[in-house]
Amino acid sequence: MDGETKDLLHRIHQVLDETDMDFPRQAVEILKVLASRLPISQASLSLVGLKRNSPPQVLRSSGTGPLTPDSADIQPGPGWHPLLDGGTLVFPLNHGSRLLGRLGLHGLSHPDVLAAWQNDLRLVCAQLIFLALNERRLQHERRQNARLQFLTEVSRRINQAPTVHQMLAELLGALVRQGKAVLAAVHPLGADSGVPLPQVEMDVDYRSARACLQQLTAALHGEAQELGRIVRRDHFDQEPFQHLSLPFSTLALPLEFQGHRLGTLVVIFNKDADTPALVSPEGDQPFFCDLAVQVAEAWGRISALQTLERVSRENDRKLREISFLYHISRAMHGTRGLDELVHFILSVTVLPEGPGCERAMLFMINERSRFLQGMLGVTQENGKHAWLPQISQYDLSQPLVPPEIQLEQKKCALSRLVQQQRLALDDPHSAVARAAREGRVVLVKAGAEQHTGIGDLKLGTYICVPLRGRDRVLAVLVTDNCTHALHIDQIDRRFLELFANQAGVAMESAMLVQQIKNAHQELRAAQENLLQTEKLATLGEFAASVAHELKNPLVCVGGFAQRLLKQVPEKTRAWDYAEIIAREVRRVEEMLNNILSFSKRRMMCFAECNIIEVIGSALTLLSRELTEADITIVQQLDPDIPPIVGDHTQLRQVLINLFSNSRDAMSAGGTLTVRAYPSTLRGDPAVTVEVADTGGGIAPEVLRNIFNPFFTTKSAGTGLGLPISHRIVEHHRGTFSVVNNEKGATFTLQLPQTRHRHLPA
């Protein structure tokens, strides 16, 4: 027997010395040695699983059928106490108080058969315990290495992700695919976390329970955030999670970076899955804590970088805006006239480099009439020609919008439509009027029924921006994108408001400069009028004296000439002399009358009169002379012209003077065109009358002197016709101008419909 035991131990030592064998092979070889050396039919080894509740690992000396009884089902007592059960002797493999497995010897008829092998079997069990412990250590090391590799790979992925969204997608995908989690989710806290909605990754085999599991993750997220610590759950007794029959294990970890909570990482594992998970909530909580720290740090770092990039982009944009506004403001304040400034403001509004609107329209406020008058409309097509790419180096003494571009913008279809718009400032339903009244930006969505008075412009969604001066709104800028891909409410309204503020200040400055110019011109005109009045007073005294001294002799001479004409036979030399004397006396008397008329202030009899009737009366008086001069009369009179307040007789005299001058200019015949139509003067309703001839025009050196008294280019005349006409128009608070046209000259009268009493006479 001693030889047999020595042979048994020797053979087992040989097996243990085989270094190229792994644990399962060594254990099976030992079991084979036991089965061959002992009076048993088979030997088996049952090892307790590393995971709680996991099935044991069973090794046997031979065969694959079931063991009866199965040594894994026999529960021996603590320590060294073999137990016989139905021909099977079971030896517990204990390490301290911890059961590692069981050695089963099967096919025994009686336990005493192995009495002589007790000590040897104790040594064999000790070797098996050593092998089991070593295998557990190796498994633990392999598991630890796998987890470290997994953590390293996850760390690499999340740290390489450019955005928080991609970082979380990499994390959750790795937990489900490599970590064998059923579900992994991140619930963010707040919109500033960079992730607006929860991110979820799930194993396809559990999609049927998706809704319930997502509710579970939300509940765990809320609990973890409420408690401020890690939450692990293995049992679910509350609705709606009671019907979860699978043995799920869950873990919820708050993600915190530098004292700021970002969200919660929730993982769910199936404890009884066929493929064991790389990590599990019950045994690998430190791993998940390390992972949560890395995720939070990556999340915070990426968020900080994204915030830095966003702030950098925002600062770059603001710098470009400030630079753009500076150069635009400098250009606007250097603009020489209000009209050019309006063109420039609208042209800048439609620039892609600026606000980028597709169309821009301007409505000026008339405080006296309480109306908004459409002034100009500009599109991107005709606005781009005014843009100066190098405006920062542009000579501001040159016009920013060339005159030909201004003319093109005025004549475009949009501008004509805008100029036809006249909106009541007090209209409660007009968005344009509301922006003017309240002094704030008004955004009108398409279909909001806020198009009162401007329906012809076919506006969709549009913005009304007030242009403010120091203490009042001067105008309203209306912009829209009727066909552009960028919706109008996506335009940077803050930048548009800043630009509008600059434009309003520049517009007020231009208006003040214009007022100063007008005041200066009025002062000069007043000075000239004062000098003229003094001259005329002297002229009046002189004219009265001359008239007194000359009229009596002229009466005598004229009277005797008339008597001679009656007494002397006609067609004689004496009769011709008398006729010349009488004609020249009449001419001298007419000159004296004109001088007296110009030197005296005429009485104006203002009453309601029809300008068309005034024109007809003047043409009737001169119709024979115009016909004899072979002059064709063309009348273009708007029948809807409203009546005006004026002196019918004086206005007729003005037109007679103009028609007479045109007749003299067209000595070889021509066309006299008379136009009359409604208009505006200084923002108030007015009537415009144009008298155009084809007499070749007026020389430039003559044009600037035609309204000066006693200036004439005719061989006969006093040079007082146009000055008297000019004075009459001024007394009506109108304007009188002349320009050369293609074939002649055009005189333009603008007369207000009403005569304001507060204006000086």
3-state secondary structure 467-497: EECCCCEEEEEEEECCCCCCCHHHCCHHHHH
Q: Which of 2-6, 302-306, 510-514, 647-651 is least confident?
A: 2-6
pLDDT at 103 over 50: yes
Closest CA to 677 of 755, 756, 748, 754: 748
pLDDT recorded at residue 664: 84
Angle, helix 285-333 to helix 164-177, in steps of 10 degrees: 160
Average pLDDT over residues 660-667: 85
The CA distance from 105 to 108, in Å, is 7
What are the pLDDT digits (tens) for 263-289?
999 988 887 665 556 666 656 677 788
pLDDT tens-place string over residues 48-70:
865 555 677 888 888 654 544 44
Task: Say if residue 353's pLDDT is above 80.
Answer: no
- Give how far the C-alpha of residue 678 lies from the chain's centroid of Cα atoms, to the nearest Å: 40
Using DSSP, state whether 737 is helix, strand or coil. strand
pLDDT value of position 143? 76
Q: According to the model, what pLDDT value does residue 396 have?
A: 47
Residue-level pLDDT at 487? 60
Residue 308 pLDDT greater than 60, yes or no: yes
Determine the Cα–Cα distance for residues 267 and 254; give it in Å rounded to an integer. 12
Distance CA 663, CA 666 (A): 5
pLDDT attached to residue 52: 56
Structure confidence by residue, pLDDT tens digits, 385-400: 655 545 544 454 566 7
Using CA of residue 722, residue 728, residue 729, residue 730, what is the dihedral sign? Answer: positive
Q: Which helix (H) or strand (E) holds 248?
A: strand 248-257
Name residue 646's beta-bridge partners.
Answer: 607
Cα-flanking dihedrals φ and ψ of residue 39, to 5°? -80, 65
CA–CA separation, 586 and 579 (whole Å)? 11
Q: Is 668 exposed, middle or buried (0-12, 13-18, 19+ CB in 10 A)?
A: exposed
pLDDT for the residue numbered 758: 39
Residue 689 confidence (pLDDT) above 90: yes
Q: Which tokens sit at 212?
A: 């319930």
Nearest to 626 by CA among 587, 666, 584, 663: 663
pLDDT digits (tens, 9 = 90+) for 529-584: 677 667 656 765 666 676 667 767 877 887 888 888 888 888 788 888 888 888 77
CB 182 within 8 A of CB 318: no
Question: Which two tokens mark 504?
Answer: 């309003």
Q: Is the pLDDT score of 410 beyond 60?
A: yes
Q: Domains of the chain (ranges plus CATH)?
A: 2-142 (3.30.450.40), 161-306 (3.30.450.40), 334-491 (3.30.450.40), 503-600 (no CATH), 603-752 (3.30.565.10)
Residue 595: exposure state from Cβ atoms within 10 A (0-12, 13-18, ≥19): buried
Average of per-residue pLDDT values in the chain: 79
Could you tell me which residue, 113 or 151, shows the higher pLDDT?
Answer: 151
> How confident is the model over 459-486, as a mean pLDDT?
82
Model confidence, pTM: 0.50
246: tokens are 């699978």
Residue 244 has pLDDT above 60, yes or no: no
